[in-house]
Amino acid sequence: MSLRYAAERAVSPRDESVSWVVVSSEYKLHLEACAYLASLRMADRSINTERTYAPRVALYLSYCADHGLDWKAPGLPWLARFLHWLVDEPLPAKGAGKPAEDRFRRKKTANAIMTTVCGFLQFCSQQGWAGADTVAQLSEHKYLSYLPPGYDPGEEGQFRTVRTKAIKFDVAVEGYEWLNPAQFKILIGLTRHARDRFLVALLAGTGIRIGEALGLRREDMHFLSNSAGLGCQVAGPHLHVRRRRNSNGALAKARMPRWIPVTAELVTLYADYVFERDQVAEAADTDIVFVNLFKAPLGRAMTYHNAKDLFNRLAKQAGFPARPHMLRHTAATIWVRNKVPRDVVKNLMGHVSESSMEPYVHATDEDKREAVERVAAIQKGQALA
């Protein structure tokens, strides 16, 4: 029987920090995979990235073991077969019992797994652990005939030629999901606790990422009309987003700190949450804003897993998809549609590139209907003239 590999969550006994490792069915660490995951931490990547990449690497190692391949030098044809296997192989059943029909990965998911595998092999090649010949074939040169918005090709077009993945499926670009006002009203109406209500409203009202929200500390919440007493010269209620390590693994993606104004409604929701939080004695010594109040360990900072469970419950009750990042899209979409200057929206979102703004411009059914009817009215008027 070939070895199987799995991603496992590791908690440091020294400071309770979380990391991810890859172990075999013989309970041995896969040293190269663990080194790759450790390199992500050294590069200051989010624990969420590490948690996502670990099972992808474990899946690749298991595939190689099952097919008798040397994972260090699998060869380009076998990597292409692995990519197709990812979408052809049924996914394991969830929970007890066999599902009504097999489930399969999407091509977009297979591409994401292959991207991680290529990154893993490239890292191992740099360390002298993997074959350089295979790694050299993982990407190819491509000339950019069409430049993405905000992309700088260079004065002589020297940046038009880039390296892209050689092994991938061609997939359609999917639109960004967001919640319309009616859906948001339903979602926030389903929250049972002041903490959850404040979290949902905060994500939609400020556009911050879930990692940034879970990493907020009470010192970041400048919700008074004047924060001069806190050493802050920003006028009006606002919050600060800062990149730093937190006990729950939350990490702000943007490296530059920024401040975001908040509405009076958000200030009121925060006051409600603080009152609810003050009823839990274990939360008194925790500086993190969002903490466990209803399940043990009480007072401990909320994690990504806690937030995911919350949104899964809300989505199930609401009857439509609802994920934290959809609220970020919602905030950006509303700002753009209400004619907020793009550079202001870009700053609020913590984006560096102008091209990052493009996905947030959604066309609603009303937008499209209005455009068609407006042109029809103009043509009708011209015909009557």
The one-digit pLDDT tens for each residue of the chain (385 residues) are: 578 999 999 988 877 778 999 999 999 999 999 999 999 988 888 888 999 999 999 999 999 999 999 999 998 899 999 999 999 999 987 766 655 678 899 999 999 999 999 999 999 999 999 988 878 878 765 566 666 555 666 766 666 655 566 688 877 666 678 899 999 999 999 999 999 999 999 999 999 999 999 999 999 999 999 999 989 999 999 999 999 888 888 888 777 899 999 999 999 999 999 999 999 999 998 999 999 999 999 999 999 999 999 999 999 999 999 999 999 999 998 898 888 888 898 899 987 666 666 666 556 566 667 778 878 888 877 777 6
187 lies in the same domain as 153: no
198 lies in the same domain as 150: no
Q: Which sign does the torsion angle of CA 165, 167, 171, 177 carry?
A: negative
214 lies in the same domain as 307: yes
User: What pLDDT sits at residue 69?
Assistant: 94
122 lies in the same domain as 197: no
| Helices (H), ranges, the chain | 31-42, 47-66, 76-88, 107-126, 132-136, 181-189, 194-206, 210-214, 264-277, 304-318, 324-337, 342-349, 365-384
Paired with 276 in beta bridges are: none
Domain that holds residue 293: 181-360
User: What pLDDT sits at residue 382?
Assistant: 74
Helix (H) or strand (E) run with residue 20 in it:
strand 18-24
62 lies in the same domain as 209: no
3-state secondary structure of 348: helix
195 lies in the same domain as 282: yes
Compute the radius of gyration of the chain from its Cα atoms.
24
Nearest-angstrom CA–CA distance, 153 and 12: 45
Residue 251 lies in a domain: yes
Token pair, residue 179, equals 């919640």
3-state secondary structure of 100: coil
Residue 335's alpha-carbon distances to 149, 154, 205, 351, 363, in angstroms, are 19, 31, 10, 15, 14
Nearest-angstrom CA–CA distance, 67 and 284: 54
53 lies in the same domain as 200: no
User: What pLDDT sits at residue 267?
Assistant: 97
Residue 176 lies in a domain: no
Residue 375 lies in a domain: no
User: What pLDDT sits at residue 187?
Assistant: 97
